Amino acid sequence: MVDALTIGTLTINPGEMKRGGIPIGGDMVEPTRQIPIIVLHGVEPGPVLWLNGATHGDEPEGPFSIFLALQQIDPQKLRGTVVACPVMNVQAFTAGTRGDPLDTFSYDMNRLYPGKADGYPTERVAHAHWLAMKDQCDLQIAIHSGGEHSYLAHMIFASNNPESLELAAAMGKNWTLVFRSGTGGGNPSSQIGALGKGGVTVELGGNCRTLTSDFHGIAQDLADGYLNVMRHYGMIDGAAEFAPAWRMGFQIALLAPATGMFVGSADLPFETTIAAGTLIGQIYNLYGDVIAEVRAPREGVIFGLRSRPSVLEGQWCCFFGVIEETVDNLIPVR
């Protein structure tokens, strides 16, 4: 027996899909602004899965992949509940920027969870989202990409608890890089992990890949991951697929050693081990001279690269991963 569920403005009966919102305070004209949510409440018991997109407003992979995934889910056949939050940070998404450009003091919504009821504007948005989610969530996937400045390949940052590592593995065969991140940090995945639940941050795409078939392909890749998660936890029918093993380690931010134009090396592979010293990219001055190089500091994998050529000294050029171990046991034997 499944009870009705109340989230934000919605009360959803078993077998229903409804659209509504999480109120986040007043607008200049309208009495309330909302974070849009779509809730699919199943007819049989199961986990509550939150799909959280566009906390960074320049990362449209979350919303589009959520739209594609929801087309595949029939609430009349669902076990458990899907709460889809395609755009968490509407102000930032409207502007096409990482954070809300009107909010100087809490710009990055992914650094300030669980937010504050009486805080800066984005802290209030995060707090409303957190209050709506925290007690009605078993599994949480936060969807990110390289946004306006970078491209990110398949990478999962999982809270360092077994529930989160299992959720990461459940994303399926394309997701072989799973790095542990701390619990209790300022992002929603970390906060959900601290509650002993599954919380992961998945990365794929960037504004350099939002055209036509490329964007559809990236969004479908992500959507296939969420559907695989739902199969693994028994929410929908079908057999989940898994990577044969997962590569775990830590990231090193490779920052620009000079100001100029960053150009990545031709044929540089993503997600594949490269040797220490491999040339990742070069920085040109505006006369065409190479003034600096970015090289692999040690053996590792590139899981992201700057796509905006203009670069200032100290800005992020390469998302470099060091693999410490390869494991095959993230899915517990039950």
Q: What are phi and psi of 179, to 5 degrees?
A: -105, 140
Supply the minimum distance, in Å, between the C-beta of residue 118 and Zn ion. 26
Supply the minimum distance, in Å, between the C-beta of residue 88 and Zn ion. 10
Supply the minimum distance, in Å, between the C-beta of residue 242 and Zn ion. 25
Pick between residue 144 and residue 306 the one whose CB is nearest to Zn ion.
Answer: 144
Beta-sheet strand order (sheet of 279-284): 290-295, 279-284, 260-264, 310-311
Supply the minimum distance, in Å, between the C-beta of residue 81 and Zn ion. 25
Q: Which stretch binds Zn ion (CB under 5 A): 16-24, 138-146, 181-189, 282-290?
A: 138-146
Q: Which stretch binds Zn ion (CB under 5 A): 81-89, 124-132, 136-144, 225-233?
A: 136-144
Dihedral angle, C-alpha 251, 189, 177, 181, nearest 10 °? 40
| 329 neighbors 308 (Cβ within 8 angstroms) | no
Q: Which stretch binds Zn ion (CB under 5 A): 26-34, 57-65, 156-164, 237-245?
A: 57-65
Pick between residue 144 and residue 149 the one whose CB is nearest to Zn ion.
Answer: 144
Q: How far apart are CA 101 and CA 192, in angstroms?
A: 27
Pick between residue 60 and residue 264 the one whose CB is nearest to Zn ion.
Answer: 60
Q: Which stretch binds Zn ion (CB under 5 A): 51-59, 161-169, 265-273, 318-326?
A: 51-59
Token pair for 267: 């044929």
Supply the minimum distance, in Å, between the C-beta of residue 137 and Zn ion. 19
Pick between residue 78 and residue 203 the one whose CB is nearest to Zn ion.
Answer: 203
- What are the distances in angstroms from CA 291 to CA 263, 283, 307, 313? 12, 6, 19, 12
Q: Which residues contact 97 (CB under 8 A, 6 or more apart)?
A: 57, 58, 148
Pick between residue 10 and residue 156 the one whose CB is nearest to Zn ion.
Answer: 156
Q: What are phi and psi of 17, to 5 degrees?
A: -120, 130
Pick between residue 7 and residue 218 the one whose CB is nearest to Zn ion.
Answer: 218
Site size toward Zn ion, by CB under 5 A: 3
| 224 neighbors 66 (Cβ within 8 angstroms) | no
Token pair for 195: 């509650």
Q: Which stretch binds Zn ion (CB under 5 A): 49-57, 226-234, 240-248, 291-299?
A: 49-57
* DSSP at 234: T
Helix axes 212-232, 61-70, angle to 10 degrees: 60
Supply the minimum distance, in Å, between the C-beta of residue 188 and Zn ion. 12
Supply the minimum distance, in Å, between the C-beta of residue 59 and Zn ion. 5
Q: Does 154 bind Zn ion (CB under 5 A)?
A: no
Q: How far apart are CA 261 and CA 22, in angstroms?
A: 42
Pick between residue 44 and residue 148 the one whose CB is nearest to Zn ion.
Answer: 148
* DSSP at 177: B
Q: How far apart are CA 183 and CA 95, in angstroms?
A: 30
Q: How far apart are CA 105 and CA 124, in angstroms?
A: 12
Pick between residue 193 and residue 260 the one whose CB is nearest to Zn ion.
Answer: 193
Supply the minimum distance, in Å, between the C-beta of residue 111 and Zn ion. 11
Beta-bridge partners for 200: 141, 158
- Per CB under 5 A, the list member of 50, 53, 56, 319 interacting with Zn ion is 56
- Per CB under 5 A, the list member of 127, 129, 144, 197 interacting with Zn ion is 144
Query: What does the binding site for Zn ion look like in residue numbers (CB under 5 A)?
Result: 56, 59, 144
